[in-house]
Amino acid sequence: MVQVLPVYQPVEPIKESKGNTPPIAFLSYDEKPGIQAIGNVAPDLPPVPGKHPTLSGDSEYVGHGALSLPAGIDLISGQVHAVIADGHGSLEFTVFLEMLDLMYPDDALIRIVPDNRSAHISKETRGYLATKPNRFDFVFTPKHGSWLNIIESLFAKMAKTFLRGLRVGSKEELKERIIQWIGQINAFPVQFKWKHGLDLLQLGQPLQC
C-alpha cells in the first residue's frame, strides 16, 4: 500500500485540473488468462410461454481453445487498452508496452501498476525497456496484493456479465466479441476512484494493511 497508493493519489487532482495536466499517464495493468472459447453442442432453445421464460441452453459444450487478455486502464480517462493473445508472457507484455508507447505523447512518463509476475521483470521485458529510457515507470503490487490493482475490478465485471454463459463458434469469434465489449466500455468509460487509505496518506499517517 505504501508504494501503490501514492500512484493513485494524484489522479483525482489531475482529473479536476481540466486539461492542465503534467506529461504523465497512470495505468493499472494485469492479464486475464484462460478465457475459454466455449461452443454449444446443441442449439439454444427459445423461450416457451408457461414453461421456459428465457432462452435455455444445453449444459454440454465443446471447447475451442482459450485466449488471454493483457489489459490496462488509464486511471485518468477510464479508457481500456488491451492486447488479445494466445498467451500472457513476456512477448505479450512487451507488445502491450509498445502499443502504449505509440498511443501517448513522446514526452509523457507512463506509470504502470502491475503485479510482480516474472514476465514483467524478465530479460525480454528489461531488454525492451532499455530501448525506451525514462519512458516507463513500474510500481508493483506486492505478493497477495492483487486487491490493490484497479484493473481487477474490470476483470471481475467482465466475468460476471460479458463472459457469463457466453457461447461462441471459435476462438476468432471470441476475440471479435471481446473487441466489441472493450469498444463498448471505451464508448462510455468509467473513471475508477480509489479511496481506501488515501485519507491517511493525505494526513501523513502510516499506512497499515
Mean pLDDT score of the chain: 86
pLDDT of residue 209: 40
Q: How many CB atoms lie within 10 A of CB 195?
A: 8
pLDDT digits (tens, 9 = 90+) for 78-130: 999 999 999 889 999 999 999 999 999 999 999 999 998 899 999 999 999 99
Is residue 152 exposed (0-12), middle (13-18) or buried (19+ Cβ within 10 Å)? middle
Give me the domains of the chain, ranges plus CATH numbers: 5-38+60-203 (3.30.420.10)
pLDDT band at 200 (very low <50, low <70, confident <90, very high): low
pLDDT band at 60 (very low <50, low <70, confident <90, very high): low
39 and 61 in contact (C-beta within 8 Å)? yes
Assess whether pLDDT exceeds 70 at residue 170.
yes
Assess whether pLDDT exceeds 90 at residue 145.
no
172 and 152 in contact (C-beta within 8 Å)? no
pLDDT band at 173 (very low <50, low <70, confident <90, very high): very high
Our CA dihedral for 175, 181, 184, 190, rounded to 10 degrees, sits at: -120
